[in-house]
Chains A and B, each alone.
Chain A
Amino acid sequence: MEKTSQIILSEKSVKELRRLENLYPEKKSIVLMVLHVVYDQFGYLKPAAIDEAAGVVGIPPIDFHQAASFYTFFPREKVGKYHIQVCRTLSCYLRGAEELVDYLIEKLNIKMGEVTEDGIFSLTEVECLGSCGTSPMMQINDTYYENLNRAKVDSILDELRKKAKSG
């Protein structure tokens, strides 16, 4: 039997899209919120998922792709299970962000922008995350890790690696 086009959005995502659909005075306002739904499910903006979400809410896919190429929060390609974003802006730089980056590169044995071979970690640098009083810091997926030092980074990475391997 011929396979029909596969549905990749989860029930939870579709439910959230339905909630958003009529929430705003003008429908197009939900573009970024829809991208968040796709990002929350896949960890990046999977193009097929964007198109499917566009169909669910009835907004042309181009509106989403235009936004996706402007807003840098959403990775546009698959990243590690744990996506590490190090803030490099001034206050963090003053408290050792460059050394933090060097340390992560050494520990993970990848270059900036790469994913570890086991797919567990990916590493990028980003601009100010609004955590300047607790620098240096990094964001891993949705969580901020602040006031970092080597020992803290070691234990964070160990814990996440364990978590990734146990499922």
Chain B
Amino acid sequence: MAEYEKILFKNIDQPGQDRIETYLKNGGYKAFEKAVTNMTPEEVTEEVIKSGLRGRGGAGFPAGRKWSFLPKDSDKPVYLTVNADESEPGTFKDRELMEKDPHLVIEGTLITSYAIKCRTAFIYIRAEFTYAAKQLIRAIEEARAKGYIGKNILGRGIDIDIIVHRGGGAYICGEETALLTSLEGGRGHPRVKPPFPAISGLYGAPTIINNVETLANVPHIVNRGGEWYASIGTEKSTGTKIFCLSGHVNKPGNYELPMGIPLRELIYDYGGGILEDRNLKAVIPGGSSVPVLTADKIDVHLDYESLAEAGSMLGSAGVIVLDETVCMVKAALNMMRFYKHESCGQCTPCHQGTYWLLRILDRIEHGRGTMEDLDELIHICDNIDGNTICPLGDAATPGVRSTLQHFREEYEYHIEHKKCMVSMAPRFV
């Protein structure tokens, strides 16, 4: 099994890493000190652009370039909002970072705040992550006591405060504009873009929204340079990525590996292979919002470009593994129930479309479907895709489309025989 250098997870299992004393002992806050002492904000941004770091929340937009979109002459304050609303099914990396190494997240937040000249940063964390929120709040107080947060930080005349803001249990608030509406005290309804948040975001002021994992990379980039970071991974997908492995593998969990490693290596070398040595049926490589890959695509490389070429997406790198006993109609139904539940209700194609997709999938699963239903599913998907304010609509359809494309025989079997073609082995014993 190949060994790769861990960057984000380097110290994650060190006892006491969540305390500032241990974090400092392991070289913590050196990057922040270096940034504010030796670098201008523009130089920090330049280094992050050089690193090629792309947003780890799912969209993969270059982080440094996002920062450079901020207006240079605005008289409004600039806000940073850390997206810690981790809710994409199959994704659980930010939670581990915040629970075990909260100072790394805080240091990334501080350096980014410095780079974009933000004085108030918010960490929007999903409501259910109570422990992670407590860890962040304690880390902030520890950092405040050491003079890394507050007024006139390190005597450099910089003021930065960080507020931990707890969500209310809504997947949609991970979408950046819905997050802002929610943070302003409203129901989590996404907004039309443009204007992009960098121009008009929180309270109408220029705002940057970055994912937790994205920001956790920033201290390392400042410490070791953008060029070093860009040398890891592939040419266009640089650095490491935390792959969240779940489903039918022997060793599920978070694995930090360079971008571009083969899916086979992740599942068989790191994940210990399929449970009970069963055959692999399908993999969803980027959280439940991306198309399913069939088992023969196992040699695909895990980076933005290779996965797109293979017909899917890297997304949030939530890699969900399905063995041969999974009924793909049931899997599609399970995913649709999620999107229907999480649709904010603002756009008709999404809130009506997910409702009808769920109803039709449910009747097929329960033996009441017809062959016409299969065309109807695609027809509804066509009416959702591209017709909504935010990407939730577009995220709801790949599960149906790709299972129908690759496993149509299972849908037909359901309609003809009124039952699943395969049945899943019991797992809860």
Residues in chain A within 8 A of chain B (CB atoms)? 23-26, 28-33, 35-36, 59, 63, 66-67, 70-74, 88-91, 93-97, 99-100, 103, 126-136, 139, 142-144, 148-150
Contacts and interface: CB of A to CB of B under 8 A. Distances in A.
B236 to A, nearest CB: 27
B168 interface: yes
A33 B165 CA distance: 7
Contacts of B337: 88, 127
B90 A132 contact: yes
A130 B334 contact: no
Contacts of A93: 331, 334
B163 interface: yes
Contacts of A66: 186-187
Interface string B196-233: 00000001000000000000000000000000000000
Chain B interface extent, by class: 35 or more
Given A26-B184, A95-B247, A96-B427, A139 B128 contact: yes
Contacts of A133: 92, 244-246, 252-254
A93 B88 CA distance: 15
B428 A149 contact: yes
Given A72-B170, A148-B428, 7 more contacts: A90-B247, A94-B321, A95-B428, A128-B89, A130-B126, A132-B320, A139-B128
B243 to A, nearest CB: 10
A94 B428 contact: no
A71 B188 contact: yes
Contacts of B248: 94-95
Those 4 A-B pairs whose CB atoms lie nearest each other, nearest first:
A71-B168, A73-B169, A96-B428, A96-B427
A132 B166 contact: no
B203 A26 contact: yes
B86 interface: yes
A127 B341 contact: yes
A117 B288 CA distance: 38
Given A91-B247, A130-B91, A132-B92, A32 B338 contact: no
B287 to A, nearest CB: 9
Contact of B128 (A73, A90, A135): A73
Nearest to B342: A127
A21 B253 CA distance: 40
B14 interface: no
26 contacts: A26-B203, A32-B167, A32-B185, A67-B168, A67-B187, A71-B127, A73-B168, A74-B169, A89-B334, A90-B288, A90-B335, A91-B90, A91-B320, A94-B321, A94-B326, A99-B426, A127-B171, A128-B171, A130-B94, A130-B95, A130-B128, A131-B92, A131-B95, A135-B252, A148-B428, A150-B428
B182 A32 contact: yes
A44 to B, nearest CB: 13
A30 B92 contact: no
Interface of B: 77, 86-92, 94-95, 120, 126-131, 163, 165-171, 182-188, 203, 244-248, 252-254, 284, 288, 318, 320-322, 326, 331, 334-335, 337-338, 341-342, 344, 424, 426-429
Given A89-B288, A128-B87, A32 B166 contact: yes
B187 A128 contact: no
Contact of B167 (A71, A142, A148, A150): A71
Contact of A36 (B87, B166, B182, B252): B166
A29 B183 contact: yes
B18 to A, nearest CB: 17
B188 A29 contact: no
Contacts of A72: 168-170
Contacts of B128: 73, 129-130, 139
A141 B392 CA distance: 28
A36 B127 contact: yes
B168 A94 contact: no
B185 A130 contact: no
A32 B165 contact: yes
Contact of A73 (B127, B284, B326): B127
A32 B187 contact: no
Contacts of A132: 89-92, 244, 246-247, 252, 318, 320
Nearest to A135: B246
Contacts of A30: 185
